[in-house]
Amino acid sequence: MALGVLSGGLGIAVWRRAPGGYLQPVALGLLMLSSALLAWGQTEARAIARLQAVLAADLEGQDVLLTGRVTEMPRLAADGVQFVVEVEQARRIGEGAETLALPPRIWLSWRRGWQEDALLAGPPEALQAGERWQWPVRLKRPHGVLNPGGFDTELWLFERHLGAVGAVRAQAALPAQRLAAAALWQAPVERARQVLRDRVLLAVPDPRAAAVLAALSVGDQAAIEGEQWEVFRRTGIAHLISISGLHITLFAGLAAWVVGWAWRRSAALCLRWPAPVAARWGGVVLALGYALLAGWGVPAQRTVGMLALAAAFKSLGLNWPGWLLALWVAVGVVMWDPWALLAPGFWLSFGAVWLLMLSSPEPAPLAQAVQDVGSTLQDEPAPGTWAARLRHSAAQAWHTQWVATLGLAPLSLILFNQVSVVGLLANLFAVPWVTLVVTPLALLGMVWPGIWALAAWAVAPLLWGLDLLAQWGGAGWVVAEAPLWASALGLLGAAWVVWPGLWRRRVWGLPLMLPLLWPPVVRPAPGQFELLALDVGQGSAVLVQTANHALLHDAGPRFARDADAGQRMVLPALRAKGVTRLDELVLSHRDIDHVGGADAVLNGVDVPQMRSSLEEGHSLRRNVEHHIGCEAGQHWVWDGVRFEVLHPPPGRPPADARPNTLSCVLKVSDAQGRSALLTGDIEAAQEARLVAQEAASLHAEVLVVPHHGSQTSSTEAFLRAVNPSVAVIQVGYRSRFGHPHPAVLSRYAQQGIPVVRTDYCGAWVWGAGGAQCTRAVRPRYWHWQPKQ
């Protein structure tokens, strides 16, 4: 930062010494260098402060009695709530309960009990923002799964300054206690958001419509289920199911008109301040309030910033171009939160504005709306007939939609590896319907709750139409992660296509976008395979790719009633790898940590065939055209790579057989002698059978460790028979089951077998060129790192 101050001082000195001279570019360069160094310095200082405010490693897994205040609106889930706590005091539970130093802000989950936690006491029905509580909790350091194309949970926690995550462990013997209700001045915006959100959810009986209205009213999208989000993504209207910049701009215009109309009713007020000025600033202030209720995301910050600057420049008699307004607001957003640059919403929000401004020599519709907030709906009507104005509005709407659809398509492919093919059609009816009908009704419902029923009626045809479009097999275009050069060409092509001019010149931008639409996909050579052991927490999912085929062995766990690894981790990884079809899905056995994500996978990609040990009548077997029971002796060859099933033995299993004992064990071998053994959750007895009956087939270079490193598996005889070069354990961070067991790790160490853990490594990729961990491929300073 000192270098930034020095550069800035030199720049100012040079500027003053040589006004208008040839040294002015030097002064300007020094000032720009100063700004960059100062920005870098303050970002580094803030990052260091956040990294230091993280839970101490020796407090992980400890039972702690935490006293603190709920600072934000709790997020509702199917089985509980999640919320931010501002820590006041903490002490260890038990004898010698000393006071503990915790991070100032913590992310807590309070669940009603699901699977192994069914005996825990759940949260109350009305946990309120601003309340002061005392909870028994168990904490851990910020840690998330890391997979190709996956969401970076650790960045999300870091950006929000959350130094620990944890779970409330309330029980009858040690209950959570509400110590004080929220005072009027404590979290007033968050309390207002929660009151409105809860009213919507209670007033609207249809949960899908209620979730959409809650998102449009207060920006809370947590109630929208994963399947519904997939519909919104496939139809390209996910940007609408939130309080967007367009909604805030419309609200600001209406608010300015109302303020201006009321102001003109008083001669005294008009003498104090002209009605147009009052209307202009009244619209900005009310838009700010609306944006705060919306959660103050990047689109809201961008819109309010542009509205405020436009109003200020209008008052000062200045006329800056819209793109410059957007640039200054972008600088302000990044100064406030440097990590906003890493959020897709930042680039989509500002990118849409810049593209609209770039696409027309006249002010773009959004920019014009910003510039005209102060004069919206003046007493003098605009010239022309209503029909002419209607045609003009329709032309502007069409212009906005094709520019946004075509122009933002490359950004969508870069950020999400997919783009909606039906997005233009869906947005043509969804944008006006949501903006002019659904959103105003949702806002009016805040004042008169009875209108929410009418808003829910308006949502119903929208959801019906989107479901119809999403059911078309080609609704979404999915691509692999593109190289940097393809991304750059795609962005250049988008700018070229929307640049004003004749269409015969614009169309030359389309070829530049082709490498991004069909990026080169790196696949194994014939006779070779690549193995990707996904980081899915406490569960298993392994992708095996050959030159022209793909197989998924297990689909990861279900975490809660409304969350599973298939939707959150497996499908994004498949998209990033360019996999749109799985030639076979192998489900080793029925345990939820292996098949919990299977439904999402079956719905997300084409899966013509499943191989499993699932019993007849299992719901997953009905979701595929062809099912094969998993039995030893089955084998096939894809592209010179051999697949062989080693377990379970042929025949009907005993009626009392536990699912683990029926795990489908698969060996994959290529023409170069490389091989991998995928074992499911087999235990000692099944390992002994394999050693006795399949010893010649057991040796493999890579062993996916049985049962996540449980003490019931990985016997010495089995490890000697397999004799792997590396063992991969798919396990959750600080697994509640104690996986991998220290005794098991000791066995691998005694036999000199290196162990890779997905909770330390992230997803592990092994191909002909070697192996690598996702955490090592793209290291970031906010990422968790194992102790050295």
Q: What is the mean pLDDT of the chain?
A: 86
Predicted confidence at residue 369, as pLDDT, reads 45
Residue range 94-143, pLDDT digits in tens: 766 678 999 999 999 998 754 444 445 556 557 899 999 999 999 999 99
Cα–chain-centroid distance for residue 573? 13
Whether the ω angle into residue 432 lies within 30 degrees of 0, i.e. cis, is: no
Please tell me the distance from the alpha carbon of residue 538 to that of residue 533, in angstroms, as a whole number: 13
Please give the pLDDT value at position 321: 79
Residue 15, CA atoms < 13 Å, CB-side half-sphere: 13
E-assigned strands of 39-164? 63-70, 75-77, 80-92, 105-111, 132-140
Helices 207-218, 188-203: inter-axial angle, 10-degree rounding: 160
Amino acid at 263: W
User: In this predicted structure, what is the pLDDT of residue 4?
Assistant: 43
User: Which pLDDT does position 505 carry in this prediction?
Assistant: 77
Which pLDDT score, from 0 to 100, does residue 101 have?
92
How far CA 542 is from CA of 147, 401, 660, in Å, comes to 12, 40, 17
Q: Find, among 424, 221, 407, 249, the residue nearest to 325 by Cα.
A: 249
pLDDT-derived band at 161, boundaries 50, 70, 90? very high
Q: In whole angstroms, give the CA distance from residue 586 to residue 151.
A: 25
Q: How far is CA 788 from CA 61, 728, 732, 760, in A?
A: 20, 19, 19, 11
Q: Is pLDDT at 394 greater than 80 in this prediction? A: no
pLDDT at 93: 86
Q: What's the whole-number mean pLDDT along residues 424-453?
A: 88
Residue 570 is given by DSSP the state I
φ, ψ dihedrals at 353, nearest 5°: -65, -50
The predicted structure's pLDDT at residue 124: 58
Binned at pLDDT 50, 70 and 90, residue 55 comes out as very high
Q: What is the DSSP string of 188-248?
A: HHHHHHHHHHHHHHHH-S-HHHHHHHHHHHH---TTS-HHHHHHHHHHT-GGGSS--HHHH
DSSP state of 79: T
Task: Tell me the C-alpha distance between 675 and 677, whole Å.
Answer: 7
Name, in order, each residue with C-beta under 8 angstroms of 718's C-beta and a sequence gap of 6 or more: 687, 688, 690, 691, 698, 706
- What is the tens place of the pLDDT at every residue in 340-350? 999 888 998 88
pLDDT at 186: 87
Least confidently predicted of 390-399, 511-520, 652-661: 390-399
Token pair for 274: 């002209």
Tens digits of per-residue pLDDT, 603-628?
889 999 999 999 888 889 888 889 99
pLDDT at 383 over 80: no
d(CA 139, CA 62): 7
Q: Which pLDDT tens digit goes with each residue over 560-584?
A: 777 899 999 999 999 999 999 999 9
Q: Tell me which residue has tokens 């004003």.
A: 500
Q: How many Cα atoms occupy the beta-carbon half-sphere of 173 within 13 Å?
A: 3
pLDDT of residue 361: 56
Residue 706 DSSP symbol: G
The predicted model gives 179-185 an average pLDDT of: 88
Per the CB < 8 A criterion, the answer to whether 414 and 517 are in contact is: no
What are the Cα distances from residue 102, in Å, to 91, 528, 700? 10, 50, 46
Q: Indicate the SS3 state at residue 553.
A: strand
Q: What is the pLDDT of residues 189-203, one digit of tens each?
A: 999 999 999 889 888
Picking from 553, 552, 527, the residue whose alpha carbon sits closest to that of residue 675 is 527
- CA-to-CA distance for 572 and 586, rounded, in angstroms? 19
Quick: pLDDT tens for 364-382: 444 444 444 444 433 344 4
Rounded mean pLDDT of 141-152? 94
The confidence band for 78, taking pLDDT boundaries of 50, 70 and 90, is confident
Q: Which two tokens stand for residue 399?
A: 């212009």
Helix pair 423-433, 226-235: axis angle to 10 deg: 110
Compute the C-alpha angle 763/757/725, nearest 5°.
Answer: 100
> Is 647:689 a contact under the CB 8 Å cutoff?
yes
Express each pLDDT in 671-682 by its tens digit.
999 999 999 999
Angle of helix 423-433 relative to helix 451-470, nearest 10 degrees, comes to 170
Q: Which long-range contacts (CB under 8 A, 24 or more apart) does 256-264 make?
A: 256/280, 256/282, 256/283, 256/373, 256/374, 256/376, 256/377, 257/376, 257/377, 258/282, 259/283, 259/286, 260/377, 260/378
* Averaged pLDDT for residues 4-21: 46
Q: Which of 24-28, 37-41, 269-273, 277-281 is predicted with the least confidence, judged by mean pLDDT?
A: 24-28
Q: Which of 703, 660, 134, 213 is nearest to 446 (CA)?
A: 213
